[in-house]
Homo-oligomer: A and B are copies of this chain.
Amino acid sequence: MESWSTFGGDLHLDLTGRRAGGLGLRAALEDALRTAVQDGRLTPGTRLPSSRALGGDLGIARNTVVEAYVQLTAEGWLTSRQGAGTTVADRPAPPAPAAAPTAPAPGPAVRYDLRPGRPDLSLFPRAAWLAAARRALTAAPNEAFGYGGPLGRIELRRALAGHLARVRGVRTDPERILVCSGHTQGLGLLCGALRERGATALAVEAYGLAPLRGVVAASGLRRVALALDEGGARTRLLDGSGAGGVLLTPAHQFPTGVPLPASRRSAAVEWARRTDGFVIEDDYDGEFRYDRQPVGAMQALDPERVVYSGTASKSLAPGLRLGWLALPRELAAPVARLKVLADTHSGVLDQLTLAELITSGTYDRHVRRCRLHYRRRRDRLVAALAERAPGVRVTGVAAGLHAVLLLPPGGPAEAELMARAGAAGLAVGGLAECRDEAAGPGDGSPQGLVIGYGTPPEHAFEGALDALCGLLGRL
């Protein structure tokens, strides 16, 4: 028998089912009583049977009931007073846990995803990663699994210092590198450090990655938008901007794809020196350049004025949430202090694995393989559009994983085309969503789609191209 009489009637306690689920007798009783209090079947003030009586009712040892009562009293469900027996604790019944929020109503299904900002996830080198993880975790000292310093594992910082010098011309050393949770966290930490130095504004490119704007705003910095022209961000506008730093994408402006010319790089660095400001170089896809040698990192012009911010999000996977900053001396300590407050340091296992991947040469081979893959994609996109949608102008394709398709004047506007694309199951990006609100209304701005040709898996790429050309062919 698994019930007893209360004021309200028999109370059923399902011990058998719980024991079948693997609980011991006492644990089953505790769980059954807890549930009965939780769901309101046992109301506050209800006096429970004596341990002897309940034990008899349930056919279990009295002591088991005593122990269960003690436990539930310790947990706050029951109260027990000398002479008054055991009663359900006197408190309002807690609200039932909320149901899961209903999922948003699905829009038209996305058949082909050509939104920018994401690599081809099917390229993630699972086997190589696992092999490197095995080597790294086997070799790691025990202390690696403990709390560490805010900069991150020394193995990765050493590997990165060498790698970044070699492939991007970055001038740094392991003591100036901080491993963080992607560029998002890195930017947040840098904004915080600039705020601490008294900055009130950060200059940004008038077009950029929308989510980063929220990160800057959350830090309390105002954004000052630098207009773009065919040579990228107009860095001369920094003078008089009042900004304490500037966020740039010098290797491959997002989204327009222009590399920042030498004169503007110098101008930005000069401005930073003159105003005691800093340049944040977001090198989000600097490893993917197709038509000539990569443009070296701007950081090398002045490692004390330019913060280099790199990421594994395009070369490996965004889901890793792995990024790194090469910091000027003056920012190293403040940024490290903020990292301690944010999360102590980044997780060590992925750091050790990436270090092993880099030092073994696997990372370089992987990047080369990806570069070839994306260059082919790029070539297919450009050729298809040239043939089937000659009205659009394709720009920004010397590097990276996305292209800007400028729309011919007189045809449908960007928003109209994006709506048509969506209705056809084709997800694309647009220039308008990249425009920073701080740049003011975009009346008369160029109209164009931002196409992430790296995004679809290989089997879907041809179909995505067809859909895109179908959309744009009539312009």
A85 to chain B, nearest CB (A): 16
Taking CB atoms, residues of chain B closer than 8 Å to A345 are 321
Bound-state Cα–Cα, A126 to B169, Å: 36
A172 close to chain B: CB less than 8 A: yes
Nearest to A92 among chain B residues (CB) is B273
Whole-angstrom distance between the Cβ of A343 and the nearest chain B Cβ = 4
Q: Does the CB pair A342–B344 fall under 8 Å?
A: no
Range class of the A interface residue count = 35 or more
Contact A121 B142 (CB under 8 A): yes
Which listed residue, B148, B214, B265, B296, touches A341 by the CB 8 Å rule? B214
Whether the pair B301, A91 counts as a contact (CB closer than 8 A) is yes
Stretch of A312-320, A373-381, A409-417 that contacts chain B: A312-320
Known: A129-B137, A214-B340, A318-B146. A262 touches B79 (CB 8 A): yes
Smallest CB separation, A83 vs chain B (Å):
18
Within 8 Å CB of A188, what residues of B?
341-343
CB–CB B348/A146 < 8 A: no
Which residues of A from 93 to 136 have beta carbons under 8 Å from B? Answer: 94-95, 97-101, 117-118, 121-122, 124, 126, 129-130, 133-134
Known: A38-B171, A133-B133, A146-B121. A215 touches B341 (CB 8 A): yes
Q: Are B319 and A147 in contact (CB under 8 A)?
A: yes
Interface residues in A293-331 by Cβ distance below 8 A to B read: 293, 295-296, 298, 300-305, 317-322, 329
Of A68-76, A226-234, A387-395, the one contacting chain B is A68-76
Instruction: Answer yes or no: A30 CB below 8 A from chain B CBs.
Output: yes
A89 to B: closest C-beta gap in Å: 6
| 20 pairs of residues in contact across A and B, judged by CB atoms under 8 Å | A34-B296, A71-B292, A76-B301, A78-B262, A91-B269, A92-B273, A94-B305, A95-B303, A100-B173, A101-B175, A101-B332, A118-B146, A121-B143, A121-B145, A122-B142, A126-B138, A146-B317, A181-B346, A182-B343, A318-B344
Q: Are B97 and A172 in contact (CB under 8 A)?
A: yes
* Contact present for B175 and A100 (CB under 8 Å): yes
Q: How far is the CA of A341 from the CA of B210 in the complex (A)?
A: 12
Closest B-chain residue to A174, C-beta based?
B100
Determine which residue in A301, A302, A332 has the highest number of CB atoms from chain B within 10 A of its CB, and name it: A301
CB distance from A293 to the nearest CB of B (A): 5
**Which residue, of A27, A137, A180, has the highest number of chain B Cβ atoms within 10 A?**
A137
Q: A269 — which chain B residues lie within 8 A by C-beta?
A: 91
CA–CA, A226 and B461, complex, Å: 61
Q: What residues of B have a CB within 8 angstroms of the CB of A91 in the complex?
A: 266, 269-270, 301
Please indicate the chain B residues that have their CB under 8 angstroms from the CB of A293 in the complex. Answer: 26-27, 30, 67, 71
- Does A423 have its Cβ within 8 Å of any Cβ on chain B? no
Residue among B73, B174, B322 making CB contact with A347, cutoff 8 Å? B322
* Complexed CA–CA distance, A95 and B78 (Å): 69
- Interface check A386, CB cutoff 8 A: no
**Residue pair B266, A89 in contact (C-beta under 8 Å):** yes
Additional A-B contact list (7), CB under 8 Å, known A76-B262, A342-B342: A75-B262, A94-B305, A98-B173, A98-B329, A100-B173, A146-B319, A319-B349
Q: How far does the alpha carbon of A147 sit from the alpha carbon of B182 in the complex, in Å?
A: 11
The distance in angstroms between the C-alpha atoms of A451 and B77, with both chains bound, is 32
Q: Is the CB of B265 within 8 A of A76?
A: yes
Residues on B with C-beta less than 8 A from A343 are 180-182, 184-185, 188, 321, 343
Residue A144, interface by CB 8 Å: yes
